[in-house]
Amino acid sequence: MLAAINYVDVVKSASLIELSVLVLLGLASAYSWALIAMKMRQLGAAQRESVSFLDTFWKSSRLDAIYQASAGMAYSPLSKVFRAGYEELSKLAQHNQPAKEGSMSERLGGIENVERALNRASTTELTELEARVPFLGTIGATAPFVGLFGTVMGILGAFSEIAEKGNATIATVAAPIGNALLATAAGLFAAIPAVVAYNAFVSRIRVFDTEMSNFSSDFLNIVKRHFFK
C-alpha cells in the first residue's frame, strides 16, 4: 500500500537524478497549487464584481454615475472596459468642446476612437486574466514525462546494480524498482490538478472574453444612439 512506503528510505536510496526529479516535481506541484488558489480568487472576484457592474450599468441612466460606481470594482474586467471607453469619450468631448457648429459626431471626432479604446482595454484585461495560466498547462503536459524520466533512470540504475551483484531475486528487484516508480506517481500528482485547473480557467476566461465583446458592442450602440445621431 502507498501508505506503507517509507519515504525517508526512498529519499536515502534515491540516486541524484531521481532525487532531482522528485524535488523538481514537488516544487512544480507547490507552485501549481498556489497559482490555482490565486487564480480562483481572481476569477471569482472578477465574476462577482462583473455581475454587480452589469446590474448598475443597465439600471443607471447616466454614464457619469456608472463611471463613479465602477471605481470600486477593481477586479471586474467589464468595469475597466467601460471606464476606458467612457474616458476616451470624455477626452474627445472636452477636446472638441469649443466647437459651436457641426454634429456631435464631428465634435467627438468619430466613434472609432471609442471603439479602439474598448478593444485595447479588452485585450489588456484578457491578458491579465490569462497571466500565468499557461504554466498550469505546461505542468500538466510535462510533469508525467519528467516523472517517467525519473522512473526510467531509477530502473536502469536498479538493473545495473543487479547486474554487478549477479543477484536478481524478487527481494532485490522489488525495492529499487518500487522506489523508481514513485517518480511517475509524483509526476501524475503534479499533472492531474494542473490539467483540471487549466481547463477550468481557460473555460471561464473564454466566458469573460465573450462578455467583454458583447458589452463593448452594447456600449457602442448606446453611444451611437445618444451622441452620434
Count of residues in the chain: 229
Please compute the mean of the pLDDT values over residues 108-126 and round it to a whole number: 86
Identify the three-state secondary structure at position 76: coil
Share of the chain above pLDDT 70, in %: 80
pLDDT of 122:
96
pTM: 0.83
Question: Are the C-beta atoms of 43 and 201 separated by less than 8 Å?
Answer: yes
Residue 116 has pLDDT above 50, yes or no: yes
End-to-end CA distance of the chain: 75
CA distance 47 to 201: 12
Please compute the mean of the pLDDT values over residues 29-36 and round it to a whole number: 96
Angle, CA of 66, 69 and 70, to the nearest 5°: 85
CA distance 202 to 200: 6
Residue 97 has pLDDT above 60, yes or no: no
pLDDT digits over 142-193, tens only? 999 999 999 898 888 877 777 776 666 666 666 677 778 888 999 999 999 9
Burial state string for 77-99 with b = 16 or more CB within 10 A and e = fewer than 16 = bbbbbbbbbbebbeebeeeeeee
Angle, CA of 98, 116 and 78, to the nearest 5°: 105
CA distance 10 to 24: 16
Please compute the mean of the pLDDT values over residues 116-144 and round it to a whole number: 95
